[in-house]
Amino acid sequence: MSEKYAQETIKPYEETGSKTAQVEQMFDNIAHSYDLLNHFLSCGIDRNWRKKAILSLENLQPKEILDVATGTGDFAILSAQLLNPAKIVGIDLSQKMLEIGREKVAAEKLDGVISLLQKDCGQLSFADESFDAVTVAYGARNFADLELGLREIRRVLKSNGRLVMLELTAPKHFPMRQLFWIYSHIYMPMVGRLISKDAKAYKYLPATMEAFPQGEVMSETLKGLGYRDVNFRRFTFGLCTLYTAGK
């Protein structure tokens, strides 16, 4: 583990021990309320962010997609509906999140397109150049080793394939910066604790949002790992950032 980036040192429960294991435990703990809180805490705006991110792949027309940190499968399901690929593989650390995701995939009758597997993005078992596109929605800040995860993603991307990464970010300018601090340090932990019953999870999540490299810094990281045609776009006063990059 590199611990080169601040968010890599932030763990949900204990300062010692594996971040990967603690993130898996955390999402298992909050899986039952994750979808409700995700949409509630973002006032539903996250659906629009997801749609814009997926539609950035429309011209590529990817047939095989890997969705990293798929959680309960929202991004994979919407990708299947908007892009009509032949196959989407969603991976996540949390088995309980995946169980909920499989129920949602079945309800949408997308079993033949979407498969959800428990895997660590730092140790992908897929062959080189397996996917036309790789998507990561709100999960990169949970990587135990950011650069290792991004290298693995690039490895499994086909030549001319695309990475689409969506991340929650902290606004930098007045008054959104101050409003976001109140939201993330007071409102989010309070609501998250009440609904999920896991007080530490909803302190960890905003902490990693603030620590994650943003904008130009994240773009330079991607370029340094060999990605080309790197771009980013901020949404909703800087609350969310979309990164796109090619192989």
CATH of the domain at 241: 3.40.50.150
Whether 11 is covered by a domain: the verdict is: yes
For residues 161 and 20, what is the distance between their CA atoms, to the nearest angstrom? 27
- pLDDT digit string, tens, across residues 42-77: 777 889 999 999 999 999 999 999 999 999 999 999
- pLDDT digit string, tens, across residues 86-119: 999 999 999 999 999 999 999 999 999 999 999 9
Q: How many independent structural domains does the chain possess?
A: 1
Rounded mean pLDDT, 163-185:
88
Whether 1 is covered by a domain: the verdict is: no
The range of the structural domain enclosing residue 159 comes to 6-246
Whether 21 is covered by a domain: the verdict is: yes
Whether 170 is covered by a domain: the verdict is: yes
Confidence tier at 3 by pLDDT (50, 70, 90): low
